[in-house]
Amino acid sequence: MIITRLSGGMGNQMFQYAVGRALAIKNNVALGLDTSMLLDRTPRKKQFTFREYELSAFTIDAEIVPQATVPFLYKTMPGTVGIYLDYLRRKFLRLSGTEKGTGFDGSILSLGTGSYLSGYWQSEKYFNEIEGVIRKDFSLKVPLSEKAQYVLGLIESKPSISLHVRRGDYVSDKNAHDILGLSPISYYEAAIAVMLEKEPRASFFVFSDDIEWCKNNLTINAEHVFVEDMPGYEHMTLMSKCKHNIIANSSFSWWGAWLNSNANKIVIAPKKWYNNKAFNNDDLIPDHWITL
């Protein structure tokens, strides 16, 4: 078995699943999901965004494993102490299967059965050889709600462009803000202008975890719809059904664009993905996407 540790929100969990799935297929073994980081609700001394298990909406091929299955050196310790221990073992123990940085590390795909993966793995290079499998795995188990089906009908009836604004913990969590920051309004204005140049009759579908902020701050001089009151997996699915995509510096909207099967899609992503210059995203944005 290959075990991959899940942490973060839906987009991060999807990256973690995808690299684990690629390695499991390569080794012809099952994939296990370690959800211990998601289950830990111990109060932290620093701000921390608690997340739920987000992959149950998809037709993934994996099982959640008990903690007894996780190798001792990789076990998640609860609370603030656990966060520091996790940092120290990543930094000093150099355990195989532990992500060393934000760039693509091809050696990970050479690991054998029994490996444990701990990291974010934010690059399609980890799973582009099984792209079809990943797309199938991230199809929904259940039909869209009636409301989502109505929006889907609008999306499919016109030159639709998804526009995703990520705020949430990028605003409320100092750590998230310091590392990632917010894509400025100027980025969205430039992206909208590029899209309207290519699709003058475009209709924009706005997705966000703070839709009221979008209504009050975004200027879209074209037909547009604010998509509200749906679970995340429906938002992501609807984004993937749009003809083109404008994404935030967010793994959630990254996946919405990546799952878009339009062969001629235009995807615009922020050139500045990280606020902290210690990180780089050279392997995160696919070559055919536009960065602004």
In terms of domains, do 66 and 94 share one? yes
In terms of domains, do 117 and 225 share one? no
Predicted local confidence at residue 95, as pLDDT: 78
- Asked if residue 243 has pLDDT above 60, the reply is yes
In terms of domains, do 128 and 51 share one? yes
In terms of domains, do 265 and 157 share one? yes
Predicted local confidence at residue 272, as pLDDT: 84
In terms of domains, do 127 and 189 share one? no
Between 148-157, 171-180, 241-250, the lowest mean confidence (pLDDT) is in 171-180
Say which CATH number the domain at 251 has: 3.40.50.11350
In terms of domains, do 95 and 215 share one? no
- Residues 156-166 have a mean pLDDT of 96
End-of-domain residue from the set 137, 172, 193: 137
In terms of domains, do 150 and 263 share one? yes
Predicted local confidence at residue 175, as pLDDT: 53
- Asked if residue 7 has pLDDT above 80, the reply is yes
pLDDT tens, residue by residue, 87-143: 676 666 677 898 988 889 999 999 999 999 999 999 999 999 999 999 999 999 999
Count the Cβ atoms, other than its own, within 10 Å of residue 17.
26
- Asked if residue 78 has pLDDT above 90, the reply is no
Predicted local confidence at residue 101, as pLDDT: 81
Predicted local confidence at residue 26, as pLDDT: 97
- Residues 148-155 have a mean pLDDT of 98
Which residues form the domain of 51? Answer: 2-137
Predicted local confidence at residue 183, as pLDDT: 79
- Asked if residue 214 has pLDDT above 80, the reply is yes
3-state secondary structure at position 4: strand
End-of-domain residue from the set 137, 165, 193: 137
Q: In what order do the strands lie in the sheet with 203-208?
A: 223-226, 203-208, 160-165, 244-246, 267-269, 290-291
Whole-angstrom Cα distance, residue 274 to residue 180? 4
In terms of domains, do 130 and 150 share one? no
In terms of domains, do 176 and 273 share one? yes
pLDDT tens, residue by residue, 19-59: 999 999 999 999 999 998 887 655 544 444 567 899 999 99
pLDDT tens, residue by residue, 280-292: 778 999 999 999 9
For the chain, how are helix, strand and coil distributed in percent, rounded to 5?
40, 15, 45
End-of-domain residue from the set 84, 105, 137: 137
In terms of domains, do 208 and 121 share one? no
Between 70-74, 90-94, 158-162, the lowest mean confidence (pLDDT) is in 90-94
Looking at every residue in the chain, the average pLDDT score rounds to: 88
In terms of domains, do 67 and 154 share one? no
The number of distinct structural domains making up the chain is 2
Count the Cβ atoms, other than its own, within 10 Å of residue 90.
15
Whole-angstrom Cα distance, residue 214 to residue 248? 13
